[in-house]
């Protein structure tokens, strides 16, 4: 494998950086494959629920699919908890950062804020403010985020639900993550 000549970035010349660009372009095309791998990993995270995190993610995306959501919203639903493993304290932001270059600002916002909106269903049991989401009450995406949580996310812990398998979502993942980055407004 060809390598650059430099040992410090500032020593690199145009030839070096054009070489790196070739590797980068090839590597970026594998993003969807790496996301699928990360999703499969969710099978072992967070115990105590009746379904695994992967099953929960698939269920959330299945409901979005069956409600005729947009393709990017279905993919966002599938990824919304992908940060649980590496960023449990800010998993919403983690998922939003992955999606950001490939989806609309609105879809990104819904995923970024879903953790706060989701508190509505459980926070009072820990003596936290369940209405934390109210600070976004006047935001244009408030209702869509509330709907995401109510209809898809909080409802998707059901071991008896007929979940769509990951394989069926893969073509959508490839389409979304092969979009030109930041081309969707």
Nearest distance from residue 91's CB to Fe ion, in Å?
9
Nearest distance from residue 89's CB to Fe ion, in Å?
15
Nearer to Fe ion, 31 or 115 (CB): 115
Nearest distance from residue 56's CB to Fe ion, in Å?
6
Q: C-alpha angle 158/159/160, rounded to 5°?
A: 90
Q: Where are the alpha helices (DSSP H) in the chain?
A: 14-28, 31-41, 53-66, 71-79, 91-99, 105-118, 142-147, 166-177
Name, in order, each residue with C-beta under 8 angstroms of 44's C-beta and a sequence gap of 6 or more: 52
Q: Report the 3 state secondary structure along 146-183.
A: HHHHHHHHCCCCCCCCCCCCHHHHHHHHHHHHCCCCCC
Nearer to Fe ion, 23 or 122 (CB): 122
Nearest distance from residue 134's CB to Fe ion, in Å?
20
Crossing angle of helices 71-79 and 105-118, rounded to 10°: 40
Nearer to Fe ion, 13 or 43 (CB): 43
Nearer to Fe ion, 81 or 112 (CB): 81
Q: Centre a 10 Å sphere on the Cβ of residue 105 and count the other Cβ atoms it contains.
A: 12
Nearest distance from residue 153's CB to Fe ion, in Å?
4
Nearer to Fe ion, 16 or 93 (CB): 93
Interface residues with Fe ion (CB under 5 A) are 81, 153
């Amino acid at each position: 494998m060809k390598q650059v000549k430099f040992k410090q970035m500032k020593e690199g010349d145009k030839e070096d950086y054009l070489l790196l660009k070739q590797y980068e372009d090839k590597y970026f095309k594998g993003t969807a494959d790496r996301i699928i791998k990360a999703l499969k990993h969710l099978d072992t995270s967070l115990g105590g629920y009746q379904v695994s995190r992967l099953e929960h993610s698939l269920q959330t995306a299945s409901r979005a699919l069956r409600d005729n959501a947009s393709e990017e919203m279905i993919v966002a639903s599938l990824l919304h908890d992908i940060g649980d493993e590496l960023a449990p304290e800010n998993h919403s932001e983690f998922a939003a950062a992955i999606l950001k270059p490939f989806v609309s600002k609105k879809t990104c916002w819904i995923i970024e804020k879903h953790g706060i909106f989701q508190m509505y269903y459980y926070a009072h049991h820990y003596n936290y403010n369940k209405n934390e989401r109210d600070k976004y009450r006047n935001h244009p995406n408030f209702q869509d985020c509330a709907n995401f949580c109510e209809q898809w996310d909080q409802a998707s812990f059901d071991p008896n639900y007929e979940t769509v398998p990951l394989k069926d979502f893969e073509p959508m993942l490839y389409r979304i993550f092969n979009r030109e980055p930041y081309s969707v407004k």
